[in-house]
Amino acid sequence: MDTADLLNTLGRALGPAQVLTREHHPDALTAYEQDWRRRVHGHALAVVRPGSTDEVAAVVRACAAAGVSLVPQGGNTGLVGGSTPDASGCQVVLHLGRLKAIRAIDADNLTVTVEAGCVLQTLQEAVAAQGLLFPLSLAAEGSCTVGGILATNAGGTQVLRYGNARELCLGLEVVDAQGGVWHGLSGLRKDNTGYDLRQLFVGSEGTLGVITAATLKLFPQPNSRCTAWATLPSLDAAVNLLGRAHRALGASLTGFEVMGAFALSLVARHMPALRLPFAGEHPLPYAVLLESSGQDDETAARAGVERLLEQALESGCIGDVLIAENLAQRRQLWHLRESIPLAQAEEGPNLKHDIALPVSRIPAFVAHTDILLLRHFPGLRLVNFGHLGDGNLHYNVQAPANGGGASETAGWLAEHEAAITHLVYEAVAQHGGSFSAEHGVGGFKVGELQRYEPPEALRLMRAIKHALDPAGTFNPGRVLAA
C-alpha cells in the first residue's frame, strides 16, 4: 500500500475531515508536530483523529499493512519528547482527543470508566459532582488526558496517599499492533487470571499498544482538608518534618511538597499577583506545603495538623507556619506550588531533571550535586522542588543570570546540557535513585535507559516489545533504542 492508498483508506475509515495532511491543511499540523515546550519539532505524514475504539483499530490495521509507524498523542503535555513525530515525514500521529466520553460512573464499585482523550480536569469535575474523588492531580490537569497519564504512569501531588496512575487503574481497553481490541475494563480489584496485561501497558508510553479507555478507582470526597505552609532551614529538616507527619497524621497525610527559596523567588518575580507567605522576611532555604485530608470533621483535622506543627516548632525543625483558613487560601497556596514550572518558563530556557531517590538520601544528594554543578558551571541557578513525600524531585537548572537574551541563554544551555545532565544522573545513580520518576523516558532519555538499566532488564523489555509489536508500528525510538 503506497502513501496515497493509505491516506485514502484512512479517509474512508474516519471521514476526510479527520485526516489532516500538509497538502490540504497546511497550517493545522504544527500543533501536533511539536511538544508544548517547543523543544521537539517533527514532520508528520498525517494527523488522524479517530472518534471511537473501532476507528483506532482501523487506523492501526491500515498503518500496519502499509508499514507506517504510529505516534499516539493525547494532550501533548509531556516533557520527554514522547508524543511528537520524528522529522522523516513518514509517521502518522494518532491523536485521541475525540475519544473523550465518560462511559460510566459506578458509585457502588467506586470506579469510573472513561475514554483516553478525556481531559483529567473534566474527569475530576464529573466525579466530584457525584460526591466522589479521582485523586490524581498535577499542574497540567487542565490539558493532559487520561490516556497520556496512564501511558506515562503519571504521578502528581497526591501519590503519597493514593499512588501513581498505575495504582489507580483497574482495567484497560487497548488496541494492539494487529488492530485487535483487548476489552479489559472489568473494574475488579481481585483478578488472578494469568498475566496482568494492564500493568504492561500502563507506563509503556504508547510503544506496546494504544490505550483507548480505562476503568479507574474512585474514592469518597474527603470531609476535611487542612493545608499548611512551613519554612525550613534545610532539606534534613524537611525530611524530619515528613517523618513527624507520617507518625502524627498516618493515612490522612495526602501531600507533602518541598520548594527551594530560589524556585519560589521566580514565582514572586514573574507572578506578582500571587503572594508568597512571609515574603517580607528573610527567607529560609526551603518551604513545605503539607496537606491532610480524610473523613474527620474540619475541627479534628485542623487540630491534628496544629499539634504536629507546634511540636515541630518547639524542636526547631521549622520556622514560620501558615495554616489555610478557608478554601480560597488553600487554593492560593497550591497555586504557588503549581506555578513554579510556569515561572521557570518565564525566566527563560531551562533543563528539567525528573528524578526519584529514597527520601532518606535526598539531602545528601542535593548537597553533593549542588556543589558539583556550581564547581563546574559557576553561576548556574538550581530550581529545586517536588514531591518529597514520595521521593520525587524536580531538580531543574536555570542558566546563569548574565544579562543575555533568550537566544543567548538557550545557546548556553544547548552547549552544556549533555554535561550538566550527565553529572546530575551520575549523582542520582550514586545515591540509589532513578533518572525518571514520573515524566517517562520518551525520546530524550533513551540513552539514559541504556546506560543505567541492568542488561537483564533491557533484554526483557526488548522481548516484550518484540512480542507485542514485532513490526515496530507503535512509537519507534521511544523508551527503547531501535
- Same-domain pairing of 216 and 235: no
User: pLDDT by residue (tens digit) across 335-359?
Assistant: 999 999 999 989 988 899 999 999 9
The CATH number of the domain holding residue 231 is 3.30.70.2190
Q: What integer best gives the mean pLDDT of the chain?
A: 93
Is the model's pLDDT at 39 over the cut of 70?
yes
Return d(Cα 77, Cα 145) in angstroms, integer: 9
The CATH number of the domain holding residue 213 is 3.30.465.10
Number of helices (H), then strands (E), belonging to the chain: the values are 17, 19
User: pLDDT by residue (tens digit) across 297-327?
Assistant: 888 889 999 999 999 999 999 999 999 999 8
Choose the final residue of a domain: 341, 366, 392: 341
User: Residues with Cβ < 8 Å from 220, sequence gap 6 or more?
Assistant: 110, 131, 132, 133, 295
User: pLDDT by residue (tens digit) across 229-283?
Assistant: 999 999 999 999 999 999 999 999 999 999 999 999 999 999 999 989 987 766 7
Average pLDDT of 440-456?
Answer: 92
Q: How many CB atoms lie within 10 A of CB 439?
A: 23
User: Residues with Cβ < 8 Å from 171, sequence gap 6 or more?
Assistant: 113, 184, 185, 186, 187, 188, 198, 214, 215
Average pLDDT of 16-30?
Answer: 86
DSSP 204-216: STTSS-EEEEEEE
Beta strands in 306-450 (DSSP E): 321-323, 350-351, 354-356, 381-387, 392-398
Choose the final residue of a domain: 95, 122, 154: 95
- Same-domain pairing of 120 and 204: yes
Q: Is 467 within the bounds of a domain?
A: no
User: Residues with Cβ < 8 Å from 154, sequence gap 6 or more?
Assistant: 136, 138, 144, 148, 164, 165, 438
Name beta bridge partners: 213: 115, 173
3-state DSSP call for residue 37?
coil
- Same-domain pairing of 91 and 122: no
- Per the structure, the complete domain to which residue 323 belongs is given by 224-341
- Same-domain pairing of 246 and 324: yes
- Same-domain pairing of 113 and 187: yes
3-state SS, 425-446, equals HHHHHHCCCECCCCCCCCCCCH
Q: Is 85 within the bounds of a domain?
A: yes
Choose the final residue of a domain: 203, 220, 237: 220
State residue 1's pLDDT score. 64
Q: How many CB atoms lie within 10 A of CB 432?
A: 12
CB 87 within 8 A of CB 161: no
- Same-domain pairing of 82 and 156: no
Q: Is 52 within the bounds of a domain?
A: yes
- Same-domain pairing of 256 and 287: yes
Return d(Cα 381, Cα 396) in angstroms, integer: 9
Of residues 154 and 410, the one with the higher pLDDT is: 154
- Same-domain pairing of 202 and 230: no
Q: Is 444 within the bounds of a domain?
A: no
CB 51 within 8 A of CB 98: yes
- Same-domain pairing of 119 and 17: no
Candidates 150, 151, 146, 154; CA nearest to 99 is: 146
Is the model's pLDDT at 452 over the cut of 70?
yes
DSSP summary character for residue 157: T
Q: Is 459 within the bounds of a domain?
A: no
Q: What is the dihedral of CA 455, 473, 35, 100, to 10 degrees?
A: -120
Beta strands in 352-391 (DSSP E): 354-356, 381-387
CB 209 within 8 A of CB 174: yes
- Burial tier of 129 (Cβ tally within 10 Å: 0-12, 13-18, 19+): exposed
**How many structural domains does the chain have?**
3
- Same-domain pairing of 32 and 69: yes
User: pLDDT by residue (tens digit) across 239-250?
Assistant: 999 999 999 999
Of residues 39 and 111, the one with the higher pLDDT is: 111
**C-alpha count within 13 angstroms, C-beta hemisphere, residue 331:** 3
Return d(Cα 443, Cα 9) in angstroms, integer: 29
Q: Is 111 within the bounds of a domain?
A: yes
User: pLDDT by residue (tens digit) across 176-197?
Assistant: 999 999 999 989 999 999 999 9
pTM of the entire structure? Answer: 0.91
The CATH number of the domain holding residue 47 is 3.30.43.10
Q: Is 242 within the bounds of a domain?
A: yes
- Same-domain pairing of 30 and 60: yes
Return d(Cα 380, Cα 212) in angstroms, integer: 43
Average pLDDT of 124-133?
Answer: 96
Candidates 482, 478, 481, 480; CA nearest to 83 is: 478
Q: How many CB atoms lie within 10 A of CB 447?
A: 14
Strand 44-48 with 132-133, pairing = unpaired
Return d(Cα 362, Cα 360) in angstroms, integer: 6
- Same-domain pairing of 34 and 71: yes
Return d(Cα 431, Cα 413) in angstroms, integer: 25
State residue 349's pLDDT score. 86
CB 78 within 8 A of CB 71: no
Q: Is 178 within the bounds of a domain?
A: yes
Average pLDDT of 210-220?
Answer: 97
